[in-house]
Each structure stands twice: as structure tokens, then as C-alpha cells.
């Protein structure tokens, strides 16, 4: 299925927890909600005054959070189709935003090298995590909400304790900025992708690089584990999506169709569907 989605690069695509909806963000300043079964657009949220870099559903799928180059984080009510809250963050670009699994907190990565944890209901800042030396590009809570993983323009990945705000570990190995970092389903490993064209898997317990996946010929822009924990999906500026076996470190399958750099991907909760967004302004749904 192909969705003629936005008027500019699609920067973020995410499935809802039930897999029935997709939320997308774009450099055209909009956030859009889509019905997976029909491909129809359900909502078009406008309010950001600059490029929207990331958007995610809340765990109950009633709310969407977004972040932008305009220095704001915004919450949107899916049912009412309205903006319900705006969190100002000075003039710093906000590169990434995510809900905690409980929906209680929001974590964001900023241009000022910091990670901010906010109360999702009040917008009050709970913690500011310091340790990266350049823009924080990617952030994610672990499934138990006790840890946060982040990646940065400083070519490092950091693991944080949410309660204390302490940096527990730092991972080094990529030779260029790390665009995206994600936990494995069991939270024993981390997968990352970089402008150095590689995907790397890190062992959290030992704090070391475990495996490296090579095959993309240009920047790798997004990466994620499938629910089985044994397969990884990635997308790249080489216009391809690739599936990888964690065990063999080999490419399993290549998906082609986008005509420009693929900026973002997500996997449905059941692992049967992939969604991708591209600089060609389209969203593609792969069964």
C-alpha cells in the first residue's frame, strides 16, 4: 500500500499499540493519522511552525506527542482532533520524543546536548540528563521504564538510570553521528544505526559491541528489532529497507520501492507489517 502522505520529507512513522493506526510527521510541519486497513487519512494536525522530527502514540492510543525544530513538544487528542498541550523548550530544536510504556512520562532529545524527562500530564520537567557533548538525536525508555538509551551527534550511545539520572554506560564504535538507537524486546541488547552506513548491536551487560551489520551503501537512518528479537529491520539513504538475521549477521531480504532516501520505519506489534517514510513524500506499508 502506498500513501501520498505529505508535502515534504516524511520524518517519522509509528504504529499504534493495536497496529490499526499509523502516525506520521513531516518537514511540511504537519502530523497525520492514517487507518492501516484502508489507507485513509483520519487526522491532519497543524500547529508546529517548523519541521516536525518525531511523533509517537501514547500507550492507550488516545494521544500523540510530537517534537519539532520550533523548540516545542505538543500533545494532540486523537478523538477530538485538537492540540491539548504545548511544552516550550526555548529555541532548541527537539530531535526525538517518546512516551514511557506507562504513558506517565515523556523523554526528549535536544539540540543543547540534553535529555529531558517530562511529566506527560503537566509538562513539568522531572529530570535533565547531562553527558552527551553534541545534539541528542534519539531516545527510548526500556520496557520497564527504568532505563533510557540515547544516541548523539557525538558518535556515542548512553544508557541512563531513570530514577537517579545517572549515566550507567557509554558505548563507542560508530565513526559518525548515530541517528537512531533502540532496545531489543528483552532489553538485553541495543541496536543502533549511523551515518557511517553500519548497524551495530551492543551487549548492555558487558557494555561492548556484540555484532555489526554491513550492507547498506549509504547512511542508515532508522533501525528496529522485530518482536521475535531475532530479526532487525533498517532503512537507508540508499532507498532500501533491509531485514537482517541477528544470529547470522546476514541480510535476509531487501525491500525496494521508494525513489529517495528512506528516513523512518516502524514494525507493527505483531511483526507482520512494516511502515516506511521517505524523502519522496510517500508512506509505504509492507505486508
Residue 227 bridge partners (DSSP): none
In this prediction the pTM is 0.95
Confidence band, pLDDT 50/70/90 cuts, at residue 3? confident
Tens-place pLDDT, residues 163-199: 999 999 999 999 999 999 999 999 999 999 999 999 9
Q: Determine the Cα–Cα distance for residues 156 and 96; give it in Å rounded to an integer.
A: 16
Domain ranges of the chain: 180-286
Q: Determine the Cα–Cα distance for residues 64 and 30; give it in Å rounded to an integer.
A: 12
Q: Determine the Cα–Cα distance for residues 89 and 254; give it in Å rounded to an integer.
A: 39
Tens-place pLDDT, residues 77-124: 999 999 999 998 767 899 999 999 999 999 999 999 999 999 999 989
CA distances for 201 relative to 59, 114, 192, angstroms: 26, 24, 7
* Residue 187 contacts residue 142 (beta carbons within 8 Å): yes
* Residue 160 contacts residue 167 (beta carbons within 8 Å): yes
- Residue 88 exposure: Cα atoms within 13 Å on the Cβ side: 2
**Which fold does the domain 180-286 belong to in CATH?**
Methylamine Dehydrogenase; Chain H (2.130.10)
* Residue 165 contacts residue 127 (beta carbons within 8 Å): yes
Amino acid at each position: 500500500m502506498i500513501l501520498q502522505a505529505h508535502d515534504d520529507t516524511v520524518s517519522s512513522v509509528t504504529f499504534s499499540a493495536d497496529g490499526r493506526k499509523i502516525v506520521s510527521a513531516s518537514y511540511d510541519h504537519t502530523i497525520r493519522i492514517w487507518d492501516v486497513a484502508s489507507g485513509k487519512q483520519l487526522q491532519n494536525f497543524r500547529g508546529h511552525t517548523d519541521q516536525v522530527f518525531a511523533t509517537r502514540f501514547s500507550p492507550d492510543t488516545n494521544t500523540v506527542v510530537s517534537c519539532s525544530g520550533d523548540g516545542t513538544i505538543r500533545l494532540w487528542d486523537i478523538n477530538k482532533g485538537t492540540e491539548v498541550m504545548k511544552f516550550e523548550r526555548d529555541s532548541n530544536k527537539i530531535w526525538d520524543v517518546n512516551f514511557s510504556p506507562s504513558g506517565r512520562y515523556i523523554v526528549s532529545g535536544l539540540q543543547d546536548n540534553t535529555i529531558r524527562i517530562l511529566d506527560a500530564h503537566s509538562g513539568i520537567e522531572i529530570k535533565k540528563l547531562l553527558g552527551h557533548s553534541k545534539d541528542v538525536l534519539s531516545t527510548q525508555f526500556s520496557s520497564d521504564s527504568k532505563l533510557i538509551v540515547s544516541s548523539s551527534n557525538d558518535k556515542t550511545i548512553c544508557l541512563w538510570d531513570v530514577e537517579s539520572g545517572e549515566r550507567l554506560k557509554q558505548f563507542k564504535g560508530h565513526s559518525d553521528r548515530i541517528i537512531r538507537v533502540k532496545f531489543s524486546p528483552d532489553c538485553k541488547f541495543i541496536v543502533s544505526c549511523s551515518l557511517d552506513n553500519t548497524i551495530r548491536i551492543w551487549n548492555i551487560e558487558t557494555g561492548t559491541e556484540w555484532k555489526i551489520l554491513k550492507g547498506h551503501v549509504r547512511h542508515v537512518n532508522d533501525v528496529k528489532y522485530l518482536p521475535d528479537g531475532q530479526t532487525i529491520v533498517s532503512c537507508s539513504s540508499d532507498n532500501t529497507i533491509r531485514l537482517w538475521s541477528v544470529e547470522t549477521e546476514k541480510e535476509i531480504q531487501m525491500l525496494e520501492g521508494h525513489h529517495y532516501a528512506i528516513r523512518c520505519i516502524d514494525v507493527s506489534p505483531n511483526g507482520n507489517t512494516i511502515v516506511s517514510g521517505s524523502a519522496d513524500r510517500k508512506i509505504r506499508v509492507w505486508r
